[in-house]
Amino acid sequence: MEYRDETMREGMQIESSDISLDDKVRLLDALGETGLPRIVVGSFVSSRYTPQMARIEEVLERFTPNPNVIYTALLVNRRSYERAQRFVPPLTIEDDRPFLNAHLCDVFTRRNFNRSQEEEFASWPAIVEDAKSRGVAEAEIRVAAAWGSNFVGEFSLDQRMDILERAHTVWHEAGIPVTSVGILDPMAWCLPHHVEEQLIAVKERWPHIRRFYLHLHNARGMSLPSAYAAMRALTPDDTLVLDGTVGGIGGCPYCGTGRATGMMATEDFFHMLEGMGVETGVDVAKLIDCAWLLEEIIGRPTFGAVSKAGPRPMSPETWFDPNMPFVETLDQARHFKLGPDSYDGGIYPWREPISSPQRPDSMR
């Protein structure tokens, strides 16, 4: 599995452009100490359209890179590659597979990219010719707005497979094997059973494809269960690539749900893996620190769950005190990390202290 934390790009691109340079550097430095293997630092794009990325060079000049982290950025054209080059290292410019992509929603691609679905198809020959001229050995096929659109409704498996089939045929005729598929869900229509159905369909149609990239948004709370469904649908021989953000922030102004679009919360995902017994090397407690820092920076609660209620208390040292008072607010709930001062002064309605044989430490 490959996980890419997108807090600094996908997350920040929907937040205020007034977030200070110091805060961005603080957050990026903190993310680098969590054990996350891959962090996307931002995007080298026009500040006219994405003012939140206007100072990406200054962020990269000032942050403290962790040598154990692969730092990448979104590079959209030759100019963005040139801008990024001076930051290598610590930035890694990956030689990604070229991909052919089309959105099932023509309305969304017009709003987001100022071009039609047909124009997306028309761009494919130039992408293929460029790949051939560079001697590319493998390619990717993608479908975006894959499961549905806030503007035109739900899409079917047949519609998704039609786009992927068209793209696969173009690469095949060019003599470039397809080894990866990308399924993107910018408007958060994913559902676990639909994700599973889609991955199984791709594996049955093209057994040679072993890499599966999912970009899942979370406006309806389905990104984490959909990621789990993807893990269940694939085999140890497959590679699953997932994106997420600390606190589950993220989105774009084009889909109609703004900041509510969200993504899978990085801390929730790694908490799930930890509970499943998957060794990740990622420190969930430090991810929670990042989520709290992020909330301080953006001035509101984020969408993640584990940063609010804490990880499951698995040992006697972390079990909650049976005699804590009422815990009613988000600030009080932070006792899992900050201790009893968080709920000091809370309502205590019981006449006698609570004791239970299940908690020998409470017996007096």
Is the pLDDT confidence value at 364 over 70? no
Domain assignment present for residue 33? The answer is: no
The 10s digit of each residue's pLDDT in 239-254 is: 999 999 999 999 888 8
Domain assignment present for residue 202? The answer is: yes
> Which tokens is 202 given?
């791709």
Round the average pLDDT of the chain to a whole number and report it.
94
Cβ atoms of 266 and 9 closer than 8 Å: no
Is the pLDDT confidence value at 280 over 90? yes
Express as a percent the part of the chain with pLDDT over 70: 100
- Find the radius of gyration of the CA atoms of the chain: 23
Please, what is the Cα angle at 324 between 318 and 325, to 5 degrees? 150
Number of domains in the chain: 2
The residue segments making up the domain with residue 136 are 96-264
Query: DSSP assignment of 295-330, as one string?
Result: HHHHTS--S-SHHHH-S---STTTSPPTT-----SH
Predicted pLDDT at 165: 98
Q: Are 210 and 103 found together in one domain?
A: yes
37, HSE (Cβ side, Cα atoms, 13 Å):
10
Last residue of a domain, one of 219, 241, 264: 264
Angstrom distance (rounded) from CA 307 to CA 287: 8
Q: Are 258 and 124 found together in one domain?
A: yes
Domain assignment present for residue 296? The answer is: no
Q: Are 345 and 230 found together in one domain?
A: no
Helices 124-133 and 157-173: angle between axes, nearest 10 degrees:
40
Angstrom distance (rounded) from CA 232 to CA 234: 6
Angstrom distance (rounded) from CA 319 to CA 321: 7
What is the maximal distance between C-alpha atoms in the chain? Answer: 80
Q: Are 210 and 350 found together in one domain?
A: no
Rounded to an integer, the average pLDDT of 37-58 is 89
> Which tokens is 25 given?
């550097």
Domain of 257, CATH number, reads: 3.20.20.70
Q: Are 241 and 345 found together in one domain?
A: no
Predicted pLDDT at 340: 95
Domain assignment present for residue 173? The answer is: yes
Predicted pLDDT at 82: 87
Residue carrying structure tokens 């990880």: 311
Taking the CB of residue 233, how many other CB atoms lie within 10 A of it? 19
Rounded to an integer, the average pLDDT of 247-269 is 94
> Which of residues 271 and 95 earns the better pLDDT score?
271
Q: Are 124 and 199 found together in one domain?
A: yes
Domain assignment present for residue 211? The answer is: yes
Predicted pLDDT at 363: 77
Domain assignment present for residue 1? The answer is: no
Most confident region among 17-21, 226-230, 256-260 by mean pLDDT: 226-230
Given pLDDT bands bounded at 50, 70 and 90, which one contains residue 361?
A: confident
Strand order in the sheet with 211-216: 70-75, 38-44, 2-5, 239-244, 211-216, 178-185, 139-144, 99-103
Q: Are 117 and 257 found together in one domain?
A: yes
Domain assignment present for residue 185? The answer is: yes
Q: Are 249 and 339 found together in one domain?
A: no
Given pLDDT bands bounded at 50, 70 and 90, which one contains residue 112?
A: confident
Last residue of a domain, one of 242, 264, 286: 264
Helices 223-233 and 192-205: angle between axes, nearest 10 degrees:
30
Domain assignment present for residue 44? The answer is: no
Q: Are 351 and 251 found together in one domain?
A: no
Q: Are 335 and 250 found together in one domain?
A: no
Rounded to an integer, the average pLDDT of 173-186 is 97
Last residue of a domain, one of 264, 285, 302: 264
The 10s digit of each residue's pLDDT in 142-174 is: 999 999 999 999 999 999 999 999 999 999 999
Given pLDDT bands bounded at 50, 70 and 90, which one contains residue 48?
A: confident
Angstrom distance (rounded) from CA 291 to CA 270: 13
